[in-house]
Structure 1
């Protein structure tokens, strides 16, 4: 039986003072805290049903919008300064500090979706996290994506991003059904990573922080067999950055769970509530 919980809107100050919009799902006596770190260009509300499920299992759960996304977006993205690695360095880190201040005695767990599972290594407070699950998280090197999808990404990186950034000063992803609009700096940094085989590895310790080797926690990677982005090779590539962590990988086939498809986003669909979502609880509670 699911536990009752309260839902409150929150405003969290990022490391550099930027205000982030968040929602906290809070049972009366939570057994641990879960921070959900979104995929690129995805609003926090996408994870609302999943967060409610976890709160019903007894966790205090926080979802939030990165700077430039959803309700953490300024009125205009033109001229708005933000880079992709800041989502980990300044936003995810600040949200974790906020949760730790609220519940200092409880364990902190991470669930990262796509890019949200890449950036723990950009956080100087990574040691506050006890366990992490990365769902459909991988490096985004274009050649390692599935065909023909990878050729579409070349069009995005070589035509859509340069042209819209030059003309508009941001990337209007929503015009093309590609998620939330992206700030110029976020899109440009993402592009520079995805066009390199070593992804952000070329920039670690230079333009981005690098705490990856220091992370020692259990990290479980879950990715579907029908994911165009998180493929076997690209997931293994991201896993390779966490050299000190206790990593494990699970590949899920939609047919095995009675699902028509999962893809890059379907893990968080309500259709996966009874089949895939319990995996999260089992991992955090040491039942798997």
Structure 2
């Protein structure tokens, strides 16, 4: 799956009921599969341009989804505007997949989630197992505090303790104050808090569907982590992977030498060639068109 050309990305919008979902569309000139990139918490779609273009050169049509509440999204979290994980994985993502399957009806669909985006991809597949054909998790872990070294564990617990009073007082979570996302929706952060304190994807408005559906997922999955990623350390990544016991899961760890840059949570976005190489090789082995 190499040697394809790439056309420049385009900013498009997908209608989903009363909501418009902005996407960046990077079509390949010789596509063999379609990839949907789900960003990390508070990270704009434009941060994934280099990654998307590298994937497009490797024969992927690529959609980068603008996360609700950020970038070109018309939605902004406030006391009057609230949403949680459920709206992102149960409303927004299926609408994007439907659009992509209309555009490329014969191409296998690969969900590629970075950090929070990976959690959303897992949640979506737990309730809709046929939503996609392959799953890629990049720096995706559970934020459960007990799986982190002491300084980070204390920071997670402190952050979790601040979410209720801050969201009650402000109507949203001011993530920029802490270098953790941006202005984030109340329920989104309460969902994150639930996972951080209890290591269970029991999400508001979901009725327990996600946690019940995880064990039955059989989708081929690639889980990539970075050697020096303190936000997604090995124990926390392994714990999330363990929630998919029936999936054909391939774990990979990339070093600074392999990446040619820092092996942390975000450094790879500026130099994504090694990550795309791992993805391309894995997809060729798992044959997503089969």
For residue 137 of structure 1, the aligned residue among 113, 120, 140 is 140
2:24 matches 1:19? no
**Over aligned residue pairs, what C-alpha RMSD do you find?**
2.5
Give the 3 Å change call, closer, same or farther, for CA 216–222 of structure 1 in structure 2. Answer: same
Alignment match, 1:80:
81
Q: What are the equivalent positions in structure 2 for 1:20-59 lying under 5 Å apart? A: 20-59=21-60
Q: Quick check: 2:4–2:29 contact (8 Å CA) kept in 1?
A: no
Alignment match, 1:108:
109
Q: What are the equivalent positions in structure 2 for 1:230-241 lying under 5 Å apart? A: 230-241=232-243
**Alpha-carbon distance in 2 for matches of 1:87, 1:52:** 24
TM-score, normalization: structure 2?
0.87
Q: Quick check: 1:141–1:234 contact (8 Å CA) kept in 2?
A: yes
How far did 1:134 drift? 0.5
TM-score, normalization: structure 1?
0.88
Q: Quick check: 1:68–1:77 contact (8 Å CA) kept in 2?
A: no
**Alpha-carbon distance in 1 for matches of 2:4, 2:103:** 23
**Alpha-carbon distance in 2 for matches of 1:225, 1:129:** 28
Alignment match, 1:61:
62
How far did 1:287 drift? 8.2
**Alpha-carbon distance in 2 for matches of 1:108, 1:158:** 38
Alignment match, 2:157:
154
Q: Quick check: 1:120–1:212 contact (8 Å CA) kept in 2?
A: no
Tell me how many residue pairs correspond in the alignment: 282
Moved more, 66-75 or 138-147: 66-75
Q: Quick check: 1:112–1:137 contact (8 Å CA) kept in 2?
A: yes
How far did 1:114 drift? 1.0
Give the 3 Å change call, closer, same or farther, for CA 207–71 of structure 1 in structure 2. Answer: farther
Alignment match, 2:226:
224
**Structure 2 unaligned regions, length at least 5:** none
Q: 1:154-182 CA deviation, whole Å, 9 max, x = no partner?
A: 221112x2332122100121244323210
2:2 matches 1:3? no
**Alpha-carbon distance in 1 for matches of 2:87, 2:153:** 26
For residue 213 of structure 2, the aligned residue among 211, 215, 235 is 211
Q: Quick check: 2:140–2:237 contact (8 Å CA) kept in 1?
A: yes
Alignment match, 1:280:
279
Q: 1:237-261 CA deviation, whole Å, 9 max, x = no partner?
A: 21122222101211222245443x2
Give the 3 Å change call, closer, same or farther, for CA 76–235 of structure 1 in structure 2. Answer: closer
Q: Quick check: 2:5–2:30 contact (8 Å CA) kept in 1?
A: no
Q: 1:226-282 CA deviation, whole Å, 9 max, x = no partner?
A: 1112222211221122222101211222245443x2212223222x43x33311211
SS in 2 for 1:69: coil
